[in-house]
């Protein structure tokens, strides 16, 4: 089953309403920046035959205005949303649409992440229908041997699927187009290795904003890669853009070590620390200490 969503958010809203944030300062504090306003889904059989379609508009409860940019992109109008259902009802509808053994698919993981975030915001806890999952963008990117993640539009072009541009960015249409892509590249065996069994607990989200983040020392254990001895860092972990870097020396075997820690988040909201380290020779160590002290990026 393929899911697609459309959101309303306030990105670049000041271009349309210059004084928006002066009049609505609370919006900056919102915990749910992308409010789902439409859910679309298409159910396919194991042989890729279409079984059913699902589409629902969600009546907004977070944002009072529909961003004109979103309106323009999705073609969704305020009137459409007024006739929508509450998020809770929409999610229940979707849950009812999912079959017991459905594999949930979406184009990139963002939609799934937002679905969970919105559900969380509305205190809808039951997402237990989300068991097995395939990221079709990842699958398609691999199958078409693209280096960078391919966009749905480019995938459609490459596979020569006729696209009506104005139809894109509607949740159901995008789900249907995604199905068209999937149908053309579907391979029973190849797809198996792309099935994620436990999407909710996978550390799939990079943390981009470390403003309110405190590193938990206990989760950053460092053992010497050479002898296994526990190391105290001479230069303790410090944030370099999107990861933490530290430098140290093994007291037992005298190895010099570079430690990197990347923090990722699961869709359930847990933080996972990915510790990485490697040995350095004396010259590298001195160079990196210098870069470290001058806050220059370290590879």
Closer to Zn ion by Cβ: residue 93 or 225: 225
Least spacing, CB of residue 222 vs Zn ion, in Å = 11
Which residues sit opposite 261 in a β-bridge?
A: 244, 275
Site for Zn ion, residues 234 to 263, rule: CB under 5 A = 250, 252-253, 255
Least spacing, CB of residue 291 vs Zn ion, in Å = 23
Asked if residue 226 binds Zn ion (CB under 5 A), the reply is yes
Q: What b/e readout covers 14-33, taking b as 16+ CB neighbours within 10 angstroms? A: eeeeeebeeebeebeeeebb
Count CA within 13 A, CB hemisphere, residue 107: 27
From 102-110, 138-146, 153-161, 219-227, span contacting Zn ion (CB under 5 A): 219-227
| Member of 11, 167, 229, 242 binding Zn ion (CB under 5 A) | 229
Is the separation of the CB atoms in 237 and 246 below 8 Å?
yes
DSSP 223: B
Closer to Zn ion by Cβ: residue 178 or 255: 255
Closer to Zn ion by Cβ: residue 102 or 277: 277
Asked if residue 224 binds Zn ion (CB under 5 A), the reply is yes
Asked if residue 278 binds Zn ion (CB under 5 A), the reply is no
| DSSP per-residue string spanning 2-51 | EEEEEEE--TTGGGT-TTHHHH-GGGGG-S-SSEEEEEEEEEE-TT--EE
Least spacing, CB of residue 292 vs Zn ion, in Å = 20
Closer to Zn ion by Cβ: residue 42 or 250: 250
Closer to Zn ion by Cβ: residue 11 or 252: 252
d(CA 272, CA 217): 13
d(CA 180, CA 291): 50
List interacting residues with Zn ion (CB under 5 A): 224, 226-227, 229, 250, 252-253, 255
């Amino acid at each position: 089953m393929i899911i697609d969503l459309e959101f309303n958010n306030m990105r670049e809203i000041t271009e349309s309403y210059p004084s928006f944030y002066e009049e609505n300062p609370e919006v900056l504090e919102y915990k749910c920046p992308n409010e789902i306003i439409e859910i679309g889904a298409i159910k396919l059989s194991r042989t890729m035959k279409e079984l059913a379609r699902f589409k629902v508009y969600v009546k907004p409860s977070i944002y009072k205005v529909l961003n004109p940019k979103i309106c323009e992109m999705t073609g969704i109008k305020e009137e459409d949303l007024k006739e929508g259902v509450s998020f809770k009802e929409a999610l229940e509808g979707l849950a009812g649409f999912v079959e017991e053994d459905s594999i949930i698919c979406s184009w990139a993981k963002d939609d799934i992440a937002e679905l969970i975030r919105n559900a969380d915001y509305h205190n809808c806890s039951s997402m237990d229908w989300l068991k097995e999952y395939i990221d079709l963008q990842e699958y398609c990117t691999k199958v078409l041997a693209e280096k960078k993640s391919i966009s749905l539009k480019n995938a459609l072009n490459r596979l020569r699927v006729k696209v009506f541009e104005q139809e894109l960015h509607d949740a159901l249409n995008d789900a249907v187009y995604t199905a068209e892509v999937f149908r053309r590249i579907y391979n029973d065996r190849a797809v198996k290795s792309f099935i994620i069994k436990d999407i909710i607990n996978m550390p799939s989200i990079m943390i981009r904003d470390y403003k309110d983040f405190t590193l938990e020392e206990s989760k950053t254990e460092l053992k010497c890669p050479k002898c296994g001895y526990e190391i105290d860092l001479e230069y303790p972990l410090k944030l370099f853009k999107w990861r933490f870097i530290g430098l140290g020396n093994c007291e037992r075997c005298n190895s010099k070590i570079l430690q990197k820690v990347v923090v990722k988040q699961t869709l359930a909201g847990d933080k996972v620390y990915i510790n990485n380290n490697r040995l350095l020779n004396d010259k590298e160590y001195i160079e990196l200490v210098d870069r470290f002290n001058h806050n220059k990026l370290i590879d």
